Structure 1
Amino acid sequence: MAGNGKALQPIIVKRIKKGGHAAHGGAWKIAYADFVTAMMAFFLLMWLLGSTAKGELEGIASYFSNPVKVSLMGGNGSGNSNSIIPGGGRDLSSAFGQRDSGDTERTTKELGAQMSRADMARKEQERIDALESKINALIAGNEKLGEYRSQIRMIKTPDGLQILIVDAQNRPMFDTGSALLKPYMQDILRTIGGSLGDVENRIAITGHTDALPFGNGDRGYSNWELSAERANASRRELVAGGLPDDKLRRVEGLAASVPLLPDKPYDPSNRRISILIMSRDYEDRMFPPALPAAPVPGAEPGVPDTPAAAAPAATEGPVSIVPPLQISANLTKPPETSHDHGGSKH
């Protein structure tokens, strides 16, 4: 070939190496695992919400509605310091950043107080429900009182459980124009008084009349005095039935100022006795604790301003202490001739 003068052409051999098929993947497994994890977390959350008391849920919600700085920004290192000078804060021994735990402590206390109030409200509602069932059972189990069931009403209000004993057309609770109770009314009140003996809440009693004017009202005895006397007579029967006298917070007469049927001011149902088992919240709002007297400028602590304040003269008489019981009308009654009701019935 060389003799022929032709150059040899190189022979190029290309070897193509075929690889195997790539593995058919497992990416779907990762996505599926994420989905299962999310579903597990969701159902776990649902289970926790279902098994948590309402009061605790309210406390948790109030906490997240007022997040604190520490919970959002981390610990109390120098990165959280509001000062360019290392150290400072409430802990003067700290050399690295401020330590102000006041907000955290206050928030923790507020959260605890809110949860405590919610828990107390729930327990109080349970007690009121149990009391309502107890009174209903006592009345239903007493044949004598069962006849008057239509005149006894129990209403749950934001202020507590209200028990109303109302007049019927031909079945009054009191003698006409007086505070003398009918025998059946005595039985009802004593039964209710016995059921309230172990109740922790305080009691308020209110007397009401209809809008018929009292006979001879110009002599000073009106529906105001009559309603107050009837409320006080009811108090005596409740105490006789077993209600501790120190449970009473207020006894008052409102005459016809708060009718049960505003459109029918002369209806017998407006003549009623209201017994309110007060909720703690209502009692706190209506009867806040007395604030301590402000000190007199310049006076020495513990020393009265005048000798009269330290030792009253004997001519002043004994010091009267106002009891918790309040009667909101003048109970001074005129001579018996004023019981003539002038044709009206209360």
Structure 2
Amino acid sequence: MASNEQPIIIKKVKKVVHGHHGGAWKIAYADFVTAMMAFFLLMWLISMTTPEQKQGLADYFAPSNVSRSTSGAGGIMGGTAFDETGARMPGTKPQVVMTISTPAQPKSPETAKKEAERTTEMNELMKQMSSRDHRNFQSAAESIRQSMRDNPDLAELSKNVIIDETPEGLRIQIVDQDGRSMFPPGNVEPYERTRLLIEKVAKILVRLPNRISISGHTDANPVTGRPGYSNWELTSDRANATRRIFENAGLANDRIYQVVGKADSEPLFPEDPYMASNRRLSVVLLREAPVTPPGFSP
């Protein structure tokens, strides 16, 4: 007897699974971008280097059996020898240092004009200050000489005073002479005639605005009779005693620039360090302006 039941058909379907691409393409793309960046950076560096720098790079990558000697000034490798008898050891490569200079930005016409105007104004100001210093120095020197001529007590000291103009300013030196000292031997306080001379100088310099430097000097003979007391202490004390005389004569304290003792380190006559004239006081009326102002052409 036939069965009415339908046969059961089992259909097997083979499913093909395709693999996922993953992130490999990202790595490849990153390598490509990096390579392009390196390429453009190389092109930029090549465009910015000088011929001498390019030659230095070529020498660096040259085969080791090629000997090349380059010397002379200029360029990154200027003055360096690259053969085996030069500055490097055989078989080594020279070190290449590459510098990249950024071109200076051009100044605008307005900026250049303002800078030129400021330079002109500064030069004119410095010129005026130098001229004023020169006039003041001449006036002070003549006033000191005139005061000595008018005073019989000071006229005999004219040979003990040296007045000259130096790059620092107007220098007034009160020096010892054989048989006529300005200070008692080894003493800090000057003779009365020396004190009077210093006061006259102070009263003339007090009328000028320039600052003042005072220094004491002596000869090469050491100080005797005072253990531990040398020419350094003696000249410092004498310079300081002179400062007190200046201040008592009316010189403001802020006008004093420096007070120093130099012992026998700066003799007036280096060929004879024991000469009496090496013992002296030096008073310098300092310049307000340098001798040659920056950028000034007379």
TM-score band w.r.t. shorter chain: 0.5 to 0.7
Query: Secondary structure at the residue paired with 2:265?
Result: coil
Query: Secondary structure at the residue paired with 1:101?
Result: helix
Q: For residues 177-235 of structure 1, what are the alpha-carbon distances to aligned partners after superposition, in whole Å with 9 as ceiling and x for unaligned? A: 12021110110011111111111100000000100122257x42100000000111111
Query: Secondary structure at the residue paired with 1:154?
Result: strand
Deviation, structure 1 residue 140: 1.0
Paired AA for residue 249 in structure 1: Y
Q: Does 1:273 align with 2:281?
A: yes
Paired AA for residue 161 in structure 1: L
CA RMSD in angstroms, aligned pairs only: 2.0
| Equivalent residue, structure 1, for 2:183 | 174
Contact 1:161 1:276 in 2 (8 A): yes
| Equivalent residue, structure 2, for 1:227 | 235
Paired AA for residue 104 in structure 1: K
| Equivalent residue, structure 2, for 1:213 | 222
Q: For residues 142-182 of structure 1, what are the alpha-carbon distances to aligned partners after superposition, in whole Å with 9 as ceiling and x for unaligned? A: 11100111101101111110000001211111121120211
Contact 1:261 1:267 in 2 (8 A): yes
Match of 1:255 among 263, 267, 275: 263
CA distance in 2, matches of 1:220, 1:281: 41
Query: Secondary structure at the residue paired with 2:289?
Result: helix
Identity %: 31
| Equivalent residue, structure 1, for 2:152 | 143
Query: Secondary structure at the residue paired with 1:102?
Result: helix
Match of 2:134 among 125, 128, 136: 125
Contact 1:190 1:242 in 2 (8 A): no
TM-score with structure 1 length normalisation?
0.51
Contact 1:190 1:239 in 2 (8 A): no
Aligned residues between the structures = 186
Pair member with larger Rg: 2
Paired AA for residue 157 in structure 1: T
Q: Equivalent residues in 2 for 1:5-16 (5 A)?
A: none
| Equivalent residue, structure 1, for 2:250 | 242
Q: Does 1:113 align with 2:122?
A: yes
TM-score with structure 2 length normalisation?
0.59
Q: Equivalent residues in 2 for 1:1-346 (5 A)?
A: 100-215=109-224, 219-281=227-289
Unmatched 5+ stretches in structure 2? 1-106, 294-298
Paired AA for residue 252 in structure 1: V
CA distance in 2, matches of 1:247, 1:131: 16
Question: 1:163 and 1:193, CA in 2 relative to 1: closer, same or farther beyond 3 A?
Answer: same
Runs of 4+ in 1 over 3 A off after TM superposition: none
